[in-house]
Structure 1
Amino acid sequence: MKKNIGSKLALYPTPLVVVGAMVNGKPNWTLVGHLGIIGHDQVMVSMSDAHYSNQGIRDTKALSINIVDEVMLQKADYAGCVSGTKEDKSELFAYHIADDGAPMIDASPVSMACTVEDVYKTEGFESFICKIAATYADESVLDSSGRLDYNILKPVLFEMPTYQYLKTGEVLGKCMSMGKEEN
């Protein structure tokens, strides 16, 4: 029998990302572990409403989602330790500006330029509903068909209850084929 542990969020781990936004004419970087897929071309990025980056996202209607790998983990963690209200984080990462105006981290193996379509507010949080305008990937993390290869990419995962970073693991099987073996 399962034990009721309360109304705990049990959908972790999630991919760890650094969100980039222009705030007062400068890039700002925020570590984010709350995001979700809401369609094939739409995502939701949920951030504490106290984050400095939120102001820029609301003003410009643009943000970037930069997947964190082990190589950039220490700088990404730092982006989450320091507020943009207290320290200028604009030079923390080498970057370029996407067509939509969002700063994109050059060291991130995969970055998505997003335009904000809506903002959903809950107590203490702003969730930005975004359309993916473009996805940029290092060729080193693509397979021979040009698709992302997560066996190579190996994004860092964030696990909320223990505040730990995890490595992605091994492949367990092929989706939509394992169940067919049951019959």
Structure 2
Amino acid sequence: MRKDLGVKPWLYPMPVLIVAAYDEAGVPNAMNAAWGGIYTDDMVAVCLSEEHKTTKNILAVKAFTVSMATRGLVAACDYVGMVSGNDVPDKVAKAGFSVRRSAFVNAPVIEELPMALECELLSYDAETCAMVGRIVNVSVDERVLGEDGRIDVDLLQPIVYDPCRRDYRAVGEKAGKAYGEGRRLMQD
């Protein structure tokens, strides 16, 4: 039997994204955002309300990065979501993050987070809080690359957000091969 729960912003898994941007003076800020993901082949979309310091920064400099939060950095990633850059201007440093400027866009790459989408701002809708960025580059720390040169999820150790219980969860074991498991159902 199913139970109706009404309208809830629950979709599993929700990525834990760390969105970072410089302000006009070059000071980095970052925030934790669970409402986002790939929009098209070369675009990412995130839901960011305009009162966030990070949103203000992105609108001013027209660039940002999106990194996957990782298992070993749960506290730092949670912290940048709990504290506002409007109140704590050095929250990136207080989280223990160090940054370098992207070679592709005017945005900070957080060195401790091994994967970053480096993006230029395409659009922002203040009514829906929908921000869309074009992915200009994906930078990755070589320590999370497998022998085939691609990102290995077991080495990356991304976390996801459980919005129902308000927990962070580690990504689990492989459950099957995409574009392969369903082949046995196609044989007739």
TM norm structure 2: 0.90
Aligned twin of 2:11? 11
Aligned twin of 1:68? 69
Do the aligned residues in 2 keep the contact of 1:120 with 1:129 (CA within 8 Å)? no
Do the aligned residues in 1 keep the contact of 2:65 with 2:108 (CA within 8 Å)? yes
SS in 2 for 1:38: strand
Q: What amino acid is aligned across from residue 16 of structure 2 in structure 1?
A: L
SS in 1 for 2:59: helix
Confirm or deny that 1:177 pairs with 2:180. yes
Listed one character per residue, the Cα deviations across residues 106-151 of structure 1 (whole Å, up to 9, x for unaligned) are: 00010111111111333xx522101111111111211222211112
Q: How many Å separate the matches in 2 of 1:120 and 1:174?
A: 37
CA shift, 1:2, in A, is 2.4
Confirm or deny that 1:109 pairs with 2:114. yes
SS in 1 for 2:54: helix
CA shift, 1:90, in A, is 4.2
SS in 1 for 2:48: strand
Q: What amino acid is aligned across from residue 44 of structure 1 in structure 2?
A: A
SS in 2 for 1:48: coil
Q: How many Å separate the matches in 1 of 2:161 and 2:92?
A: 24
Q: How many Å separate the matches in 1 of 2:43 and 2:67?
A: 15
CA shift, 1:21, in A, is 0.7
Alignment of 1:89-104 (within 5 A): 89-92=91-94, 93-99=97-103, 100-104=105-109
> Number of aligned pairs?
181
Which sections of structure 2, spanning at least 5 residues, go unmatched?
none
Do the aligned residues in 2 keep the contact of 1:24 with 1:56 (CA within 8 Å)? yes
Q: What amino acid is aligned across from residue 37 of structure 2 in structure 1?
A: G
Which sections of structure 1, spanning at least 5 residues, go unmatched?
none
Confirm or deny that 1:143 pairs with 2:139. no
Aligned twin of 1:81? 82
TM norm structure 1: 0.92
Q: Following superposition, which runs of at least 4 residues in structure 1 exceed 6 angstroms of deviation?
A: none
Aligned twin of 1:164? 167
Q: How many Å separate the matches in 1 of 2:3 and 2:14?
A: 24
Q: What amino acid is aligned across from residue 12 of structure 1 in structure 2?
A: Y
